């Protein structure tokens, strides 16, 4: 998580590649979600397959969350975000909409959400909370 935060700070106010943007958010936002989900799963006695599936879920959920947040900064309201709309652009932050465009970012959000949900397909009703969480987060960026 620290590596993602450091890379984020080092890339403020300058052009950022798609690879660097993914690196930042895999090692920042997604890493935080992976840690939380894996810790809970390990405490709950998850086996290796379940830990692997939950890690795939969490990484995709983390990236989807970040993309939804970036999209909200473009199209959302201050009430939804808790900050002024357009603040990422005003602060010259590299975001998914800035690099991919708004529509491609929305497509990427849905792709990551589907991948996250599909990672839990073997767990049916036991994964209902996590599936709904991914769906609710994706709706934020539509």
| Angstrom distance (rounded) from CA 3 to CA 44 | 28
Average pLDDT for residues 4-28, to the nearest whole number? 84
Write the CB contacts of 138 (distance below 8 Å, at least 6 apart in sequence). Answer: 64, 68, 109, 110, 113
Q: What pLDDT is stored for residue 80 in this prediction? A: 64
Q: What is the pLDDT of residues 49-60, one digit of tens each?
A: 999 999 999 999
Nearest CA to 130 out of 80, 64, 47 is that of: 64
How many C-beta neighbours within 10 Å does residue 15 have? Answer: 10
pLDDT at 90 over 70: no
Its pTM surpasses 0.75: yes
Q: What pLDDT is stored for residue 140 in this prediction? A: 83
pLDDT at 110 over 80: yes
Q: Which domains does the chain show, CATH number per domain?
A: 2-140 (1.10.600.10)
Q: What pLDDT is stored for residue 124 in this prediction? A: 85
| Angstrom distance (rounded) from CA 40 to CA 119 | 17
Q: Residue 8 — very low, low, confident or very high, per pLDDT cuts 50/70/90?
A: confident
């Amino acid at each position: 998580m620290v590596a993602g935060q450091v890379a984020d700070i080092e890339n403020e106010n300058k052009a950022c590649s798609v690879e660097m943007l993914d690196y930042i958010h895999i090692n920042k936002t997604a890493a935080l979600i992976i840690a939380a989900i894996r810790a809970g799963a390990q405490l709950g006695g998850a086996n290796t397959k379940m830990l692997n599936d939950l890690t795939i879920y969490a990484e995709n959920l983390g990236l989807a969350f970040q993309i939804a947040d970036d999209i909200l900064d473009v199209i959302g309201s201050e009430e939804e975000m808790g900050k002024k709309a357009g603040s990422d652009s005003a602060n010259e932050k590299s975001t998914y909409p800035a690099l991919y465009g708004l529509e491609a970012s929305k497509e990427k959000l849905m792709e990551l959400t589907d991948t996250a949900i599909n990672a839990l397909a073997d767990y049916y009703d036991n994964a209902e909370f996590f599936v709904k969480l991914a769906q609710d987060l994706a709706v934020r960026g539509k």
